[in-house]
Amino acid sequence: MPDDGRYLSGPRHVAIIMDGNGRWAERRGRPRLFGHHAGARRVREVVEACPDLGVKYLTIFAFSTENWKRTQIEVAGLMSLFRSYIKREAMALKEKNVRVRFIGDRPGLDHKLQAQMDELEAMTEHCDSVNLTIALNYGGRDEVARATKRLAQDVAAGRLDPEAIDEETLPRYLDTRVLPDPDLVIRTSGEARISNFLLWQSAYAEYEFIDTLWPDFTRDVFAGLVGNYAGRDRRFGGVKA
List of residues contacting ligand IPE (CB under 6 A): 17-23, 61-64, 67, 78, 189, 191, 193, 195
Least Cβ distance, residue 185 to ligand IPE (angstroms)? 12
Q: Out of 52, 67, 105, 196, pick the active-site residue.
A: 67
Considering the complex, state which of residue 18 and residue 47 has its C-beta at the smaller distance from ligand IPE: 18
Q: Which stretch binds Mg ion (CB under 5 A): 18-26, 92-100, 145-153, 170-178?
A: 18-26
Distance of CA 141 to the CA centre of its chain: 15
| 64: phi then psi, degrees, rounded to nearest 5 | -100, 165
Considering the complex, state which of residue 10 and residue 140 has its C-beta at the smaller distance from ligand IPE: 140
Q: How many residues bind Mg ion (CB under 5 A)?
A: 1
| 67 in active site | yes
Least Cβ distance, residue 146 to Mg ion (angstroms)? 24
Least Cβ distance, residue 109 to ligand IPE (angstroms)? 14
| 19 in active site | yes
Region 196-215 residues binding Mg ion, contact defined as CB under 5 A:
none
DSSP characters over 191-215: ----TTSSTTTTTT-EEEE--S-GG
Cα(81)–Cα(89) distance, rounded to whole angstroms? 12
Name which of ligand IPE, Mg ion, none residue 17 binds, using a CB cut-off of 5 to 8 Å depending on partner kind. Answer: ligand IPE
Considering the complex, state which of residue 6 and residue 23 has its C-beta at the smaller distance from Mg ion: 23
Considering the complex, state which of residue 11 and residue 140 has its C-beta at the smaller distance from ligand IPE: 140
Cα(34)–Cα(124) distance, rounded to whole angstroms? 29
Please say whether the beta carbons of 213 and 241 come within 8 A.
no
Least Cβ distance, residue 69 to ligand IPE (angstroms)? 8
User: Residues 19, 89, 143, 206: which binds Mg ion (CB under 5 A)?
Assistant: 19
Nearest residue to Mg ion on Cβ basis: 19
Considering the complex, state which of residue 128 and residue 211 has its C-beta at the smaller distance from ligand IPE: 211
Helices (H), the chain: 21-27, 32-53, 72-95, 111-123, 140-156, 219-230
| 10: phi then psi, degrees, rounded to nearest 5 | -80, 170
Strand order in the sheet with 184-187: 98-103, 130-138, 57-64, 13-17, 184-187, 206-209
User: Residue 15 is inside which H or E element, if any?
Assistant: strand 13-17
Name which of Mg ion, ligand IPE, none residue 219 binds, using a CB cut-off of 5 to 8 Å depending on partner kind. Answer: none
Cα(201)–Cα(140) distance, rounded to whole angstroms? 9
Q: Report the catalytic residues.
A: 19, 67
Kindly list the residues in this chain that would bind Mg ion in the complex (CB under 5 A): 19
